[in-house]
């Protein structure tokens, strides 16, 4: 994974990535720092799918933080997963998307869809809650066994209110490891893969 992190910036020249700068609801940019990792299982039920009209899904976990200013200019931080929860790292990240993938597994693949991250610990200027959620859209580029992800339209909520909105949620990338690859391209089958990656924000 460390080698991939060194190479991921080449892929980011084509598309951006996961979890970075936070922009408060007022529209002014807030100083923010984020970091963490994500992993999970990807399912492509229709494979091959040469056009971007097949639907796939992702379920997994994300461990990380987002910090910035809420709409009232108050500092907030959201931590995923909730460190006060009695249960460990349960799945908290899900996504649905349309994708294009050729058979045999080609050089590149693409996907576009939406994601939901839930179950975060929220400290909004001292007000504590356990309902931190982030939603948004993403675009995905796979190049071989590496992936880069671009995000947009992100919204962070907690304590029953919108804490921040952002045009982009950040930069990151990861690895794509197929776990069930069809033995033939003549019949439509299902393909599954484990995907994992890291994200950071140097602000």
Give the start-to-end residue ranges of the domains of the chain.
Answer: 2-170
The CB density around residue 202, as the number of other CB atoms within 10 Å, is 8
pLDDT above 70 coverage of the chain, percent? 77
21 close to 166: Cβ distance less than 8 angstroms:
yes
Rounded mean pLDDT, 77-87: 90
Rounded mean pLDDT, 52-72: 89
Q: How many angstroms separate the CA atoms of 20 and 6, rounded?
A: 18
pLDDT score, position 14: 27
Residue ranges of E strands in the chain = 35-47, 49-69, 75-80, 93-101, 108-124, 127-143, 146-158, 161-166, 171-180, 189-200
In this predicted structure, the answer to whether residue 24 has a pLDDT above a threshold of 60 is: no
Q: Which is more confidently placed, 168 or 101?
A: 101
pLDDT score, position 33: 54
pLDDT score, position 170: 64
User: pTM of this prediction?
Assistant: 0.80
Q: Which is more confidently placed, 194 or 4?
A: 194
Supply 186's token pair. Answer: 């003549």
Rounded mean pLDDT, 110-134: 94
Rounded mean pLDDT, 7-35: 36
Supply 137's token pair. Answer: 């859209």
Q: Which is more confidently placed, 8 or 75?
A: 75
Supply 135's token pair. Answer: 């939603």
pLDDT score, position 29: 33
75 close to 85: Cβ distance less than 8 angstroms:
no
Q: Average pLDDT, whole number, for the chain?
A: 78
Supply 40's token pair. Answer: 């999970």
Rounded mean pLDDT, 125-144: 92
Supply 22's token pair. Answer: 């936070």
Q: How many angstroms separate the CA atoms of 89 and 20, rounded?
A: 22
Rounded mean pLDDT, 16-32: 35
Q: Is 164 exposed, middle or buried (0-12, 13-18, 19+ CB in 10 A)?
A: buried
Contacts of 167 (CB under 8 A, 6+ apart): 23, 152, 153, 154
Q: Which is more confidently placed, 159 or 17?
A: 159
Contacts of 149 (CB under 8 A, 6+ apart): 15, 16, 17, 18, 138, 139, 140, 141, 172, 173, 174, 197
In this predicted structure, the answer to whether residue 41 has a pLDDT above a threshold of 70 is: yes
């Amino acid at each position: 994974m460390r080698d991939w992190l060194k190479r991921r910036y080449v892929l980011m020249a084509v598309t951006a990535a996961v979890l970075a700068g936070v922009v408060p609801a007022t529209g002014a940019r807030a100083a923010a720092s984020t970091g963490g990792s994500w992993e999970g299982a990807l399912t492509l039920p229709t494979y091959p799918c040469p056009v971007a009209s097949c639907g796939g899904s992702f379920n997994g976990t994300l461990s990380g933080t987002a910090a910035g200013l809420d709409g009232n200019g108050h500092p907030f931080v959201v931590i995923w997963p909730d460190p006060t929860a009695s249960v460990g790292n349960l799945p908290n990240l899900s996504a649905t998307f349309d994708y294009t993938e050729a058979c045999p597994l080609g050089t590149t693949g693409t996907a576009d869809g939406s994601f939901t991250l839930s179950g975060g610990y929220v400290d909004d200027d001292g007000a504590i809650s356990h309902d931190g959620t982030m939603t948004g859209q993403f675009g995905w580029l796979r190049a071989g066994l590496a992936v880069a992800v671009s995000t947009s339209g992100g919204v962070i909520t907690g304590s029953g209110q919108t804490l921040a909105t952002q045009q982009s949620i950040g930069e990151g990338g990861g690895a794509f490891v197929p776990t069930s690859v069809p033995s033939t391209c003549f019949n439509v089958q299902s393909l599954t893969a484990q995907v994992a990656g890291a994200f950071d924000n140097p602000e």
